[in-house]
Chain A
């Protein structure tokens, strides 16, 4: 099974750090690339800016935070879901609460799943485990052609 990259779009370094810890804890070995906001995430996808020299190919999964500077999660979603090259990449939205209206907007824009950011670390590792389950399936997403 090919281990594809996870693109993790998150501006808060502590959230990034804790999530990486949780990934480590659950022994998820995929490469995780962090983009600090929507603009950087687009740059990654298009191999621009600091990602100019990265190996080509789409990430297998995008973990997307909503509230970010410059370009937020929903703006980023609207762009990639309208781009034939990126629209099939599965996206998991990270939200702060289940009641957010952003959740509905996210689904309207074509999000595949969402997770509510947990307050405690145990729940975080549990969610990473769920993502891992999701991951096992999406690692086999058919490639174009």
Chain B
């Protein structure tokens, strides 16, 4: 019995032990479960957060997609614009090419007309030369014959003629002399445009002294008083500038011939770019109303009876000054003398 009991007890014990073990195991398992549940809850919470995040990200994606759609639209519009511009540019280029062609055409036309004009000008110059030649030969010959026979008439038959006849001979003589001067003046005038200009630095005082010296020498009774100031050097053609001064000085002498005391002042004023030379006399002067005529070919403001002349001298002077790139003008009062001014540029060109 005891044994049985013992065995039973033993069994019971074992069973209890096992129970205890199971209980312990269960407790552990419970604990584990509890932990696992906790973990699950944690994950669930985390998942919820992650879900929220995802939702947010999706929202952002949608936003971006919308923005992208807008940007795409914009891009498409810009592309369209670009194409438009490209087309416009192509059209503008075409127009430019056309315009360039037109400009070339116009340039060619211009060049042609310049060539044509130059040829015309050359032709005109040649004709002018032919006219000069004709004047010097064909006009001079009959004049030479008139003067020649007039001289012979005077020489051989003067004594046979009455006073009136002798006067006629004198009149023919002075008329032919005048015509000879006219022809020479014309030749000189036509020469100005044909001859080449050689510009040098000129000593104006030297030129003026050279021209006034013989006048002073011939002025035995000291009627003429020259006052010549220091004149600046200027660039010019020696021969032409000598002709300018010669004509102006002769002019001053001519129109002071009735004065008992002649005063001629020659001087200059220097500006920044130009030099203005002047010659002033106390002669007959002229009416300023006709000042513009004074440099015109064959225009004279005084009668041949009062002052001889051809009306070529001052026209020649103006032409010479113009060829030098300068200007000439005059101021006067009738009976109080005249002042002639001409300007020259300071530089060599």
Give the Cβ gap from B192 to chain A, nearest Cβ, in Å. Answer: 12
Residue of B nearest to A121 (CB): B151
Residue among A12, A15, A99 with max Cβ neighbours from chain B (10 Å): A99
Give the Cβ gap from B210 to chain A, nearest Cβ, in Å. Answer: 20
Partner of A15, one of B141, B151, B180, B191: B141
- The yes or no answer to A129 lying at the interface (CB within 8 A) is no
For chain B, residues 128 to 179, give those with C-beta under 8 angstroms from any C-beta of chain A: 136-137, 140-141, 143-145, 147-152, 155, 176-177
Across the interface, which residues of B come within 8 angstroms of A124, CB to CB?
A: 148
> Complex formed: what's the CA distance from A100 to B145 in Å?
21
> Complex formed: what's the CA distance from A128 to B149 in Å?
17
| A-B pairs with beta carbons under 8 Å apart, 28 shown | A14-B145, A14-B148, A14-B149, A15-B145, A18-B144, A18-B145, A18-B149, A18-B152, A21-B148, A21-B152, A96-B136, A96-B140, A97-B187, A99-B187, A99-B191, A100-B136, A117-B140, A117-B141, A119-B176, A119-B180, A120-B148, A120-B176, A120-B177, A121-B147, A121-B148, A121-B150, A121-B151, A122-B151
For chain A, residues 4 to 40, give those with C-beta under 8 angstroms from any C-beta of chain B: 12, 14-15, 18, 21
Count A-B contacts at CB 8 Å: 50
Across the interface, which residues of B come within 8 angstroms of A110, CB to CB?
A: none
Mask of B173-208 contacts with A, CB within 8 angstroms, 1/0: 000110010000001000100000000000000000
- The yes or no answer to A67 lying at the interface (CB within 8 A) is yes
Residue count of chain B within 8 Å CB distance of chain A: 19
For chain A, residues 66 to 125, give those with C-beta under 8 angstroms from any C-beta of chain B: 67, 96-97, 99-100, 117-122, 124
> Complex formed: what's the CA distance from A108 to B3 in Å?
180
Interface of B is mostly: helix
Across the interface, which residues of A come within 8 angstroms of B145, CB to CB?
A: 14-15, 18
> Complex formed: what's the CA distance from A100 to B177 in Å?
22
Across the interface, which residues of B come within 8 angstroms of A18, CB to CB?
A: 144-145, 148-149, 152
Q: Please tell me if the beta carbons of B151 and A119 are within 8 angstroms of each other in the complex.
A: no
Residue count of chain A within 8 Å CB distance of chain B: 17
Give the Cβ gap from B9 to chain A, nearest Cβ, in Å. Answer: 171
Give the Cβ gap from B79 to chain A, nearest Cβ, in Å. Answer: 78
> Complex formed: what's the CA distance from A12 to B140 in Å?
13
Across the interface, which residues of A come within 8 angstroms of B151, CB to CB?
A: 120-122
Q: Please tell me if the beta carbons of B149 and A119 are within 8 angstroms of each other in the complex.
A: no
Q: Please tell me if the beta carbons of A121 and B141 are within 8 angstroms of each other in the complex.
A: no
> Complex formed: what's the CA distance from A124 to B140 in Å?
14
Across the interface, which residues of A come within 8 angstroms of B152, CB to CB?
A: 18, 21, 121
> Complex formed: what's the CA distance from A58 to B180 in Å?
37
**Contact of A97 with B136 at beta-carbon distance under 8 Å, contacts A12-B141, A15-B141, A119-B143 already known:** yes
Across the interface, which residues of A come within 8 angstroms of B155, CB to CB?
A: 121
Residue of A nearest to B188 (CB): A99
Across the interface, which residues of B come within 8 angstroms of A121, CB to CB?
A: 147-148, 150-152, 155
Nearest 5 CB-CB pairings of A with B? A121-B151, A18-B148, A14-B145, A119-B180, A121-B148
Q: Please tell me if the beta carbons of B147 and A120 are within 8 angstroms of each other in the complex.
A: yes
Across the interface, which residues of B come within 8 angstroms of A12, CB to CB?
A: 141
Give the Cβ gap from B125 to chain A, nearest Cβ, in Å. Answer: 14
Partner of A119, one of B137, B140, B187, B191: B140
Across the interface, which residues of A come within 8 angstroms of B191, CB to CB?
A: 99
Residue of A nearest to B150 (CB): A121
> Complex formed: what's the CA distance from A58 to B299 in Å?
54
Besides the contacts A14-B149, A117-B141, A121-B152, what 9 more A-B pairs have beta carbons closer than 8 Å? A14-B145, A15-B141, A21-B152, A99-B187, A119-B144, A119-B180, A121-B150, A121-B151, A121-B155
Partner of B144, one of A67, A97, A118: A118
Residue of B nearest to A102 (CB): B133
Partner of A96, one of B137, B150, B176, B177: B137
Residue among B140, B150, B151, B155 with max Cβ neighbours from chain A (10 Å): B151
> Complex formed: what's the CA distance from A15 to B180 in Å?
17
Residue among B147, B150, B180 with max Cβ neighbours from chain A (10 Å): B147
Residue of B nearest to A13 (CB): B145
Across the interface, which residues of B come within 8 angstroms of A67, CB to CB?
A: 137
